[in-house]
Amino acid sequence: MVFQRVGFIGLGNMGYPISLNLLRSGYKLVVYDIVGEKIEKLVNEGATGAHSPKEVAELSDIVMTSLPTPEALEEVVTGQQGILEADRVELTLIMLDTIPPATARKIALMASRQGVNVLEAPVSGGPYLAREGALTIMVGGDIYVFEKCKPLLEKIGRHIYYVGEIGTGSVVKLINNLLSLGNVALMCEAIVLGIKAGVNGRTLYEILSKSTGRSFALEYKLPNIIAKRRFDSGFAINLACKDLGIISNLAKELGYPLFTGSLIEQLYRLARAIGLGHEDHTAVVKLFENIAGVTVEF
């Protein structure tokens, strides 16, 4: 089955390029965002604008969401003028959001009572890979629904994995974000230490990117974002704190002591406390730069 009418709710740093890829792949797209200018931007590209999540669902066979918080997602799905208020048969909801596994299961249960199919499909790769249609997607939910939706997901992702029942996709995404944010923080601390000790930043990058300490944070984010001081876009520290809070709560629910993860969370919360919340998560480097009295530039 090929879905021809696709709805998309949430047109931010990730939602906009994902929506654009769907449009360019030939899908009839209906879009909604709380910011009207974002809707107009997609309408100018050929999409149809909607006035509410409910209207998106009424005009679509499948609805995808890309929202910043679990609370925003629940409001869009279950709130007034929400997706579940639409009188639709065999509607499918795909949640691209980063949310707690419990939230994914809760929404899926509520939706099933109205005959709505639900997949969670959180994505990894950031705005750049979203623009390229090359995201990694981790899917949880009914395998039959996944198989029906896979051709659609292939328009926005290069690596698509079916993980298991609803909630498991969210677990994988949260583990990925814990590793990613931790890698960035440790890399920043280490690079600043090296510069403080008198080694040129470019030299550090060239050597470490070919050594056992290399990582995506070092190989891509250091030269392209941190060294060029491009902290005005991407995955903000506010969102990093949100995700790390979800991860911390998950560990508590499981009775699992999160030692290193807790330290990582506090580093990003400190960055937010000193006013860096709206900057890219790589701006955590400024914490270490302020301590060392050096700047990572090359």
- Give 36's contacts (C-beta < 8 A, 6+ positions apart): none
Q: Is 196 a catalytic residue?
A: no
- Residue 36 CA to residue 39 CA, distance in Å, equals 5
Q: How far is CA 48 from CA 24, 29, 38, 59, in A?
A: 14, 6, 12, 10
In DSSP notation, 109-162 reads HHHHTTT-EEEE--EESHHHHHHHT-EEEEEEE-HHHHHHHHHHHTTTEEEEEE
- Residue 11 CA to residue 20 CA, distance in Å, equals 10
The single-letter code of the amino acid at 270 is L
- Phi/psi class of residue 22: alpha, beta or left (left: φ > 0; alpha: ψ in -120 to 50)? alpha
- Residue 74 CA to residue 93 CA, distance in Å, equals 12
- Phi/psi class of residue 277: alpha, beta or left (left: φ > 0; alpha: ψ in -120 to 50)? alpha
Q: How far is CA 176 from CA 125, 169, 223, in A?
A: 11, 11, 22
Q: Which two tokens stand for residue 58?
A: 């009424």
Alpha-carbon dihedral sign for residues 142, 147, 148, 150: positive
Q: Are 165 and 140 in contact (CB under 8 A)?
A: yes
Given 38, 173, 221, 286, the catalytic residue: 173
- Residue 180 CA to residue 158 CA, distance in Å, equals 19
**Residues with catalytic roles:** 173
